[in-house]
Structure 1
Amino acid sequence: MEQQPVRRFRFRWPRFRFGTRTLFILFTLLSVGIGWGSLHFYRNYRHDRAMAAIREVGGRIAGEADGKVERVYLRNPDIDDAKLIELLAHLRYVRGMEELDLVELPITDEVAQQFYGLPRLQRLYLYQTDLSAQAVERIAKALPHVEVKLDKPDPVASGLAKTTIYRHAIMSLAVSFDGTQFVTGSGDGTLRWWSIHNLTDPDIIAAHKTWTFAAAYHPDGKRLVTGGGDNMIRVWDIQTHQQLAELAGHDDDVHALGFSPDGAELYSAGDDMTLRSWNLNDPAYAAEVVGMHDEQIPCLTVAGVSGEVLTGSRDETIGWWRPDSGERLRTLADHTGDVMSLALDAQQGVLASASYDGTVRIWDLANGRPQHVLSGHQGRVFHVALDSTGSRLASSGEDGVQVWDLEADAPLFAYAGARYVSTIAFANGDNWLLAADAEGFVHVIDTLSGKLYRKMATARAHGAGTR
Structure 2
Amino acid sequence: MASLLDEEIPSDSELSSQEPDSDALITDEDEETVQQKKIRLAKNLIHQLEKQKESQALEKDQTAYVVRKLEEDLASKTGKLKKQIADKYTAGLIEKQLKGHRLSVTCVAISPNKKYIFSTSKDGTIIKWNFESGMKMNTIKKRLPHEDRTTKKGHSKEVYALAISDDGKYLASGGGDKLIKIWNPETLDFVYSFEGHRDSVSGLVFRNNSHQLYSCSFDRSVKIWNVDQLIYVETLFGHQDRILGIDSLNKERCVTCGARDRSLRLWKIVEESQLLFNGIHFDSIDCVSLINEEFFLSGSNDSSLSIWSINKKKPILVHKNAHKNNSMLDTKKSLFGNSFEAANWVSAVRAYHNSDLLASGSDDGFIRIWAYSSANNSLNERFKIPVEGFVNDLKFSEDGSYLIAGVGQEHKLGRWSINKNAKNSILIIKLISEDFNK
Q: TM-score, normalised by structure 1?
A: 0.57
In the alignment, which residue of structure 2 is the partner of 1:414? 384
- The one of 108, 113, 136 aligned to 1:178: 113
Separation in structure 2 between the aligned mates of residue 273 and residue 352 of structure 1, nearest angstrom: 20
Separation in structure 1 between the aligned mates of residue 160 and residue 194 of structure 2, nearest angstrom: 15
Separation in structure 2 between the aligned mates of residue 202 and residue 252 of structure 1, nearest angstrom: 31
The 5 A counterparts of 1:58-137 are: none
- The reply on whether 1:432 has 2:432 as its aligned counterpart is no
Separation in structure 2 between the aligned mates of residue 428 and residue 260 of structure 1, nearest angstrom: 15
Q: 8 Å contact 1:340–1:354 — kept in the other structure? A: yes
- The reply on whether 1:374 has 2:319 as its aligned counterpart is yes
Q: 8 Å contact 2:255–2:290 — kept in the other structure? A: no
One-letter amino acid of the counterpart of residue 426, structure 1: F
Q: Which runs of 5+ in 1 are unaligned?
A: 1-164, 450-467
- The one of 342, 346, 350 aligned to 1:385: 350
- The reply on whether 1:263 has 2:210 as its aligned counterpart is yes
Separation in structure 1 between the aligned mates of residue 237 and residue 273 of structure 2, nearest angstrom: 8
One-letter amino acid of the counterpart of residue 405, structure 1: A
How far residue 423 of structure 1 moved from its aligned partner, in angstroms, is 0.8
Residue deviations 1:143-166 (CA, integer Å, cap 9, x gap): xxxxxxxxxxxxxxxxxxxxxx99
Q: Secondary structure at the match of 2:281?
A: coil
How far residue 330 of structure 1 moved from its aligned partner, in angstroms, is 2.9
Q: 8 Å contact 1:388–1:430 — kept in the other structure? A: no
Greater CA radius of gyration, 1 or 2? Answer: 2
Q: 8 Å contact 2:214–2:222 — kept in the other structure? A: yes
Residue deviations 1:74-118 (CA, integer Å, cap 9, x gap): xxxxxxxxxxxxxxxxxxxxxxxxxxxxxxxxxxxxxxxxxxxxx
One-letter amino acid of the counterpart of residue 264, structure 2: I
Aligned length: 282
Separation in structure 2 between the aligned mates of residue 216 and residue 309 of structure 1, nearest angstrom: 14
Residue deviations 1:371-421 (CA, integer Å, cap 9, x gap): 322332021001101125522111001213111122373211122332211
In the alignment, which residue of structure 2 is the partner of 1:339? 285
- The one of 416, 437, 441 aligned to 2:425: 441
Q: TM-score, normalised by structure 2?
A: 0.60
- The one of 138, 142, 145 aligned to 1:203: 138
Q: 8 Å contact 1:169–1:186 — kept in the other structure? A: yes
Q: Secondary structure at the match of 2:315?
A: strand
- The reply on whether 1:360 has 2:326 as its aligned counterpart is no
Q: Secondary structure at the match of 1:369?
A: coil
In the alignment, which residue of structure 1 is the partner of 2:56? none
One-letter amino acid of the counterpart of residue 398, structure 1: D
- The reply on whether 1:402 has 2:348 as its aligned counterpart is no
In the alignment, which residue of structure 2 is the partner of 1:74? none
Q: Secondary structure at the match of 2:133?
A: coil
Q: 8 Å contact 1:185–1:215 — kept in the other structure? A: yes
Q: 8 Å contact 2:221–2:236 — kept in the other structure? A: yes
RMSD: 2.2
The 5 A counterparts of 1:135-150 are: none
Compare relative contact order (CA 8 Å, sep 6+) and give the higher one, 1 or 2.
Answer: 2
In the alignment, which residue of structure 1 is the partner of 2:42? none
Residue deviations 1:282-309 (CA, integer Å, cap 9, x gap): 34x224212231110011112422x122
- The one of 190, 193, 213 aligned to 2:128: 193
Residue deviations 1:342-387 (CA, integer Å, cap 9, x gap): 111326x331011112111111222233232233202100110112
Separation in structure 2 between the aligned mates of residue 396 and residue 228 of structure 1, nearest angstrom: 21
How far residue 332 of structure 1 moved from its aligned partner, in angstroms, is 3.7
Q: Secondary structure at the match of 1:286?
A: strand
| Larger deviation, residues 242-251 vs 337-346 | 337-346
When residues 166 and 444 of structure 1 are mapped into structure 2, their CA distance, relative to the original with a 3 A threshold, is closer
How far residue 316 of structure 1 moved from its aligned partner, in angstroms, is 1.2
Q: 8 Å contact 1:353–1:361 — kept in the other structure? A: yes
Q: Secondary structure at the match of 1:227?
A: strand
- The reply on whether 1:225 has 2:160 as its aligned counterpart is no
Separation in structure 2 between the aligned mates of residue 167 and residue 232 of structure 1, nearest angstrom: 22
- The reply on whether 1:310 has 2:280 as its aligned counterpart is no
When residues 339 and 202 of structure 1 are mapped into structure 2, their CA distance, relative to the original with a 3 A threshold, is farther
When residues 410 and 223 of structure 1 are mapped into structure 2, their CA distance, relative to the original with a 3 A threshold, is same
How far residue 320 of structure 1 moved from its aligned partner, in angstroms, is 1.5
One-letter amino acid of the counterpart of residue 253, structure 2: E
Q: Which runs of 5+ in 2 are unaligned?
A: 1-99, 142-153, 325-343, 410-423, 434-438
Separation in structure 2 between the aligned mates of residue 414 and residue 260 of structure 1, nearest angstrom: 30
Separation in structure 2 between the aligned mates of residue 424 and residue 309 of structure 1, nearest angstrom: 18
